[in-house]
Amino acid sequence: MCGIVGYVGQQEAVGVVVEGLRRLEYRGYDSAGVALASAGGLHVAKRAGKLANLDKVLAEQPPAPTTTGIGHTRWATHGAPNDVNAHPHTDCHGRIAVIHNGIIENFAELRDTLERAGHEMDSETDTEVVAHLLEEVLPACDDDLGEALRTVCRLLRGAFTLVVVDAQDPDTVVAARRSSPLVVGRGDGENFVASDVSAFIAHTRDAVELGQDQVVVVTRDHVVITDFHGQPAEGTPYQVDWDASAAEKGGYDWFMLKEIDEQPQAVADTLLGRLSPNGTLQLDEMRLSDDDLRDVNKVIIVSCGTSFYSGLVAKYAIEHWTRLPCEVELASEFRYRDPVLDRSTLVVAITQSGETMDTLMATRYARAQRAKVLAICNTNGSTIPRESDAVIYTHAGPEVAVASTKCFLAQIVACYLLGLYLAQVRGTKYGDEIATILDQLHGIPAAVQIMLDGAEQVRALARELVGATSVLFLGRHVGYPVALEGALKLKELAYLHAEGFAAGELKHGPIALVDEGVPVFVVAPPRAREVLHDKVVSNIQEVRARGARTIVLAEDGDESVVPYADELIWLPRVPTLLQPLVATVPLQLFACELAAALGHDVDQPRNLAKSVTVE
């Protein structure tokens, strides 16, 4: 989940590379470093901590002018986050510099072989072995760095993106990928490689996504792609449809606040263009036929973290609209329990980045079992959509803050679209029923905006509760995943003990956590779900009787909760299945404000990275 960038062109490389790292720092910020290649050799600078530490080093020891360089921002896997383990890593003679995203599983045996051959390692990382392997094979490859990297890649096991420069070939950057993201940016007299297009979006929107087991040799005028055996290969070209300003804060204190405020647009854009001229639902990226979908007898959703909670919301809608059984699985556990899959199973992989390793391996397992796989993803051209049978892209735009907000809402909307599409194909909903639900979905951006317009109430509440040491969240039906997501946001950002529970489980153990003054958020279902609603009102009374401070999220005008709520957050009136799209917003705002009040880095919480590309 590290950030990588490489540049060859006509501009001063250090500026381009550091600018790229700044846009990639959300992928990891344990350390950062650059290697700049010129006729005078390599200039390597790296420091533990955030990018500002590297900036200081480069200001104090400016490198010689050069137009070729690579850079890395790290989320530590092998080795502690310190200066020595920071990337780039070099060979014994300082000729070759390597940066890496992923894990090399057989690095220990490779390291042992290299050390017995006389190579001396400085770091604890798996990455350093690649620099020494390149040093070892370069002479046999006639000093051709591309051929040397292909040779080395054939020796490696695991998931990796590698980017390499050679002081003796200072006008070339070579990169390789296996099960880890790598994209090429094509410019005019300059070319780029990166783990994410945001690294070079200020310079070009012309991108090429590398395929599995491919190597790319980049000069200022050429991009040459081969497979690991040297055979010509092609990546997947595409045009990036957003610009650099979309990845800037735009005057907000935090990217997360900006992205929370972008949620009405994210929902609207994800719904855009989904109706055909005759009024039926259409999903342009759906590569599964109607017959394929009619054959489905079970849906399994696999995902991680926040995406997992969007899947839990989706389960209620899919089962209700299609009458198909729907399971929701943590991707990290899925393939290890020997799940029952066949050609009639539809596996839905939900992922913001399209590179989440646990989810990727789950989808590969599903395909190996002949199940159909559909991806819900926010990143065009990423690995999971490319390896799936179908894809529904969310159109939330770039999400920079590590804690997901707008992508969560967009994922829920995409899941609803999938459920409605299955209902349409399978005939479990009439066309007018589907049209009504779609109309309700099109009203959600305005409902979310209402929550955003009332944000000050929630932010003031967060500042008031800055001394809280434990916060509980309760919900039923689709309110239960909302409670889980609210608790996760608080854990991620404020580093507080926070738990989400199904409200009906309260008396089966969690009520023991309720003590005098403990804040308890309760998501009350709409009054139309009368039985559920009344049970949740009883739950509110139960925790209040034991001293809890009750913060109730309730449908506008629901007077029945007023006597039992210490704080009321009114939600716009929406159908029950759509309530998570409005109920989640105040919980996002609460976590963001509380974390800021505690002095934490909201966009880059400790120990976390945006895209988890290792298992």
**Contacting residues for 560 by C-beta, under 8 A, at least 6 apart:** 527, 533, 537
Residue by residue, DSSP assigns 104-142 as: ETTHHHHHHHHHHTT----SS-STHHHHHHHHHHTGGGT
Residue 495 has pLDDT above 90, yes or no: yes
Give me the phi and psi of 79, to 5 degrees please: 95, 145
Q: Which domains does the chain have, with CATH numbers?
A: 3-247 (3.60.20.10), 255-442 (3.40.50.10490), 453-597 (3.40.50.10490)
Tokens of 214: 């491919």
Helices (H), 406-507: 406-426, 431-442, 444-453, 455-464, 479-494
What mean pLDDT do residues 272-301 have?
89
Which of 195, 162, 199 lies closest to 178, judged by CA?
162
Structure confidence at residue 615 (pLDDT): 65
SS3 367: helix
pLDDT tens across 496-536, in order?
Answer: 999 999 999 988 998 888 889 999 999 999 987 778 899 99
Tokens of 293: 């979908």
Structure confidence at residue 159 (pLDDT): 82
pLDDT tens across 93-136, in order?
Answer: 999 999 999 889 899 999 999 999 999 999 999 999 999 999 99
Given the residues 315, 406, 429, 610, the one annotated as active site: 610
Give yes or no: 298 in active site. Answer: no
Cβ pair 553, 559 in contact under 8 A:
no
Which of the 8 DSSP states describes residue 525?
A: P
Give yes or no: 507 in active site. Answer: no
CB count, 10 Å around CB of 366? 25
How far is residue 446's CA from residue 527's CA, in Å, rounded to a whole number? 21
How far is residue 591's CA from residue 594's CA, in Å, rounded to a whole number? 5
Q: Is the peptide bond before 563 cis (omega within 30 degrees of 0)?
A: no
| Tokens 């209040």 sit on residue | 544
SS3 15: helix
What mean pLDDT do residues 404-419 have?
97
**Measured in whole angstroms, how far is the alpha carbon of residue 385 from the centre of its chain?**
14
Structure confidence at residue 80 (pLDDT): 82
| Largest separation between any pair of C-alpha atoms in the chain | 81
Cβ pair 102, 613 in contact under 8 A:
yes
Structure confidence at residue 405 (pLDDT): 97
SS3 95: coil
Half-sphere exposure of 578 (CA within 13 A, CB side): 22
Tell me the one-letter amino acid at 162.
L
How far is residue 468's CA from residue 317's CA, in Å, rounded to a whole number? 35
Half-sphere exposure of 166 (CA within 13 A, CB side): 21
**pLDDT band at residue 613, thresholds of 50, 70 and 90?**
low
N- to C-terminal Cα distance for the chain? 11
Helices (H), 164-304: 255-261, 263-271, 290-294
Q: How many DSSP H helices and E strands does the chain contain?
A: 19, 24
pLDDT tens across 42-87, in order?
Answer: 999 999 998 999 999 999 999 999 999 999 999 777 788 899 999 9
Cβ pair 14, 22 in contact under 8 A:
no
> Kind and range of the H or E element at 47?
strand 41-48
Strand order in the sheet with 549-555: 497-502, 470-475, 519-523, 549-555, 567-571
Task: Pick the more confident residue, 151 or 530.
Answer: 151
**pLDDT band at residue 90, thresholds of 50, 70 and 90?**
very high
How far is residue 41's CA from residue 475's CA, in Å, rounded to a whole number? 61
- Based on its alpha-carbon atoms, the radius of gyration of the chain, rounded to whole angstroms, reads 25
**pLDDT band at residue 37, thresholds of 50, 70 and 90?**
very high
Given the residues 2, 304, 415, 592, the one annotated as active site: 2
What crossing angle do the helices spanning 406-426 and 431-442 adopt, rounded to 10°?
170
Structure confidence at residue 68 (pLDDT): 98
**Measured in whole angstroms, how far is the alpha carbon of residue 373 from the centre of its chain?**
19
SS3 348: strand
| Tokens 């199973």 sit on residue | 345
Residue 221 has pLDDT above 80, yes or no: yes
- Would you report the helix, strand and coil content of the chain in percent, each value rounded to 5? 40, 25, 35
Tell me the one-letter amino acid at 166.
D
